[in-house]
Amino acid sequence: MLTRILIILAFCFAATAQAAPVILIYGDSLSAGYGLPQNTGWANLLAQRLEQKKLNYQVVNASISGETTTGGLYRIEQTLATHQPAIVIVELGANDGLRGLPLDATRSNLDGIIRACRKQNAKVVIVGMQLPPNYGNAYTEKFQRNYIALAKQYKLRLVPFMMEGFAGRRELFQADNLHPTVEAQPLILDNIWKALQPLLK
């Protein structure tokens, strides 16, 4: 009898674990933890915060260093089918901007990613970025406006700027001046948490 009860409990626990809704992080090196010790990126900190707050979510980080919105659009359908997320945090576009790619194409790709997520009934948080001023005011302003416009169009939760509050602090960036250090990861999480928290049950 005891054995049967233990087996039933084991199945119940397994079902509960499988039922945890997925938060999918869909980004580039800024979310993949480039240059950081293992398990110290903001995605890992998010999983820890959810656990601390007893929020039953599973974090899946599908970010790839060097990813562009073109690559993101190419693989979004398969990624959604694999993980079936309840929430998708889209953090893409920085590499498009740094390479000077056409911003209309970037917006179109992000639009396609958002529509694919919504088709699967996943809620979307879109993470905005800013470019260094040496790319020219016209380009950098349009780059930033793309995120704002998409968030407004689809009524999405928006993180206006992933590095808000510390972008000017050189000590919080690695030697390449692009990727935040370990010490900056909690600050990134706080910026994203403001947009994500209202979507959490």
Active-site amino acid positions: 29, 176, 179
How many angstroms from the chain centroid is the CA of residue 77? 16
Q: Is the dihedral of CA 117, 18, 32, 71 positive or negative?
A: negative
User: Helix 103-119 and helix 137-154: axis angle, to 10°?
Assistant: 20
Measured distance CA(104)–CA(129) in Å, rounded: 16
DSSP 90: E
How many angstroms from the chain centroid is the CA of residue 42? 10
Coil/strand/helix, residue 181? coil
